[in-house]
Structure 1
Amino acid sequence: MGEFGMPMEQLYMYTLLAAGALTVLCVFFGEVTEFKGTWPIFNPIVILAFFTFGSAIGFLLETATEFNEWSVLVMVVLAAAILDLLLYFVILLPVSSASTIHSEESLPGQLAKVVIPIPGGGCGEVVIETYSGVISKSATGYNNEAIAKDEKVMIVEVSEDIVYVKVCAS
């Protein structure tokens, strides 16, 4: 008999089920659980991964070996911590830094190319080439001027998902 009046295998299995269910919820509602600017250990994905790894390893060790509960717990904590660090540094950190999402605050001052002509007082379209790909945005002339296709333009400002551009001097 283990902790909480139940066998340790059962405790590990319940923990695995709970951590798995919370992980699924975290995937669907990830924006709500995002902790920007805090230490990475407080990221819900990292915490849930630790419990998932630990409970899976604990369940396997309890059912497949003859180690006592405390030695299994020590091995679980060490193995889960190592796997969690690997998950964070090998997968989560590179994926988060390679995001293709751009912010509207980063667009002013960038160069773009007109792909759909911009009529005077109307909207056209520009593409912005970045290190992570090509971004297409609706555009209008900064002073309501018409801009022809294939012109190089500079983004002056962004408002309501429309970029205001002016022709670059060649």
Structure 2
Amino acid sequence: MLFGTQIEDIYLIILLIAGGLTILYLFFGDILEGVGEIFGFINPVLILSFFAFFSATGYLLDNITSLSSVLIVLLAAGIALILDTLLHIFVLVPLSSAEESLSYTEESLKGRVGKIIVPIPEDGFGEIVLESKSGMISKPATGFDNTIIYEGTKVLVLEVKNGVLYVVPYENELDADTSV
């Protein structure tokens, strides 16, 4: 008994609260991302999972074993810490690096070769498609020197301003050698 309540009930209450907060975090987690930026060591996923692991382990140990409550709390905390560490190392870290590798910045588009899919008129805009790891990127484009660039032409991205790619026709030396 703790505060007039069975310890098993306390474990279940903690588990329900941690589970409910986890579901709320799934829906409203973007709002709390700023907290992680301010305090780099605080990750709401790890905190909620620790309480979920702790309460579930404590409940199971209390029902299955005849150990003392203090020993059960210490074992549950240790097991929750180990599981939380494994969750962080094998799930959260790879997910965060995978998310970064699939995204691109406009600066990363400089120097890439693409293909014109909508012709660029003189002093006008067309559309370019670039291949990336995550699929095809389609962006508006204009000629760097305001010349006409026809559909199907390979182009080199020289500059990016306000989401528009400034391109010039691109001829690969290998392509020129094989055509002779």
Query: What is the TM-score of this pair, normalised by structure 2?
Result: 0.78
Query: Superposition pairs for residues 65-76 of structure 1, below 5 Å?
Result: 65-76=65-76
- Unaligned 5+ segments in structure 1 are none
Aligned to 1:63: 63
Query: Residues 80-114 of structure 1, C-alpha deviation per residue, up to 9 Å, x if partnerless?
Result: 11111221111111122112222233223333222
Give the distance between the partners of 2:163 and 2:45, measured in 1 at CA: 31
SS of corresponding position for 2:29? coil
Give the distance between the partners of 1:114 and 1:36, measured in 2 at CA: 40
SS of corresponding position for 2:127? strand
Q: Does 1:83 align with 2:104?
A: no
Aligned to 1:123: 125
Give the distance between the partners of 1:119 and 1:105, measured in 2 at CA: 24
Tell me the amino acid that sits aligned with residue 20 of structure 2. Answer: A
Q: Does 1:30 align with 2:29?
A: yes
- Unaligned 5+ segments in structure 2 are 173-180
Give the distance between the partners of 1:5 and 1:140, measured in 2 at CA: 74
1:133 to 132, 135, 139: 135
Give the distance between the partners of 1:166 and 1:36, measured in 2 at CA: 40
Identical-pair percentage: 42
Aligned to 2:103: 101
Give the distance between the partners of 1:110 and 1:43, measured in 2 at CA: 36
Aligned alpha-carbon RMSD (Å): 2.4
Residues 142, 20 of structure 1: alpha-carbon distance in 2 compared, 3 angstrom cutoff: farther
Aligned to 2:54: 54
Give the distance between the partners of 1:57 and 1:91, measured in 2 at CA: 20
Give the distance between the partners of 2:91 and 2:15, measured in 1 at CA: 21
Residues 18, 128 of structure 1: alpha-carbon distance in 2 compared, 3 angstrom cutoff: same
Query: Residues 123-156 of structure 1, C-alpha deviation per residue, up to 9 Å, x if partnerless?
Result: 3322222334332223233344332223222323
Tell me the amino acid that sits aligned with residue 69 of structure 1. Answer: S
Query: Residues 143-170 of structure 1, C-alpha deviation per residue, up to 9 Å, x if partnerless?
Result: 4433222322232333443333233354
Tell me the amino acid that sits aligned with residue 64 of structure 2. Answer: A
Give the distance between the partners of 1:119 and 1:37, measured in 2 at CA: 48
Tell me the amino acid that sits aligned with residue 168 of structure 1. Answer: Y
SS of corresponding position for 1:59? helix
Structure with bigger gyration radius: 2
Per residue, is there more helix in 1 or in 2?
2
SS of corresponding position for 1:52? helix
Give the distance between the partners of 1:137 and 1:38, measured in 2 at CA: 36
Larger CA deviation: 112-121 vs 94-103: 112-121
Give the distance between the partners of 2:168 and 2:77, measured in 1 at CA: 59
Counting matched residue pairs gives 168
Give the distance between the partners of 1:38 and 1:120, measured in 2 at CA: 51
Give the distance between the partners of 1:132 and 1:56, measured in 2 at CA: 38
Query: What is the TM-score of this pair, normalised by structure 1?
Result: 0.82
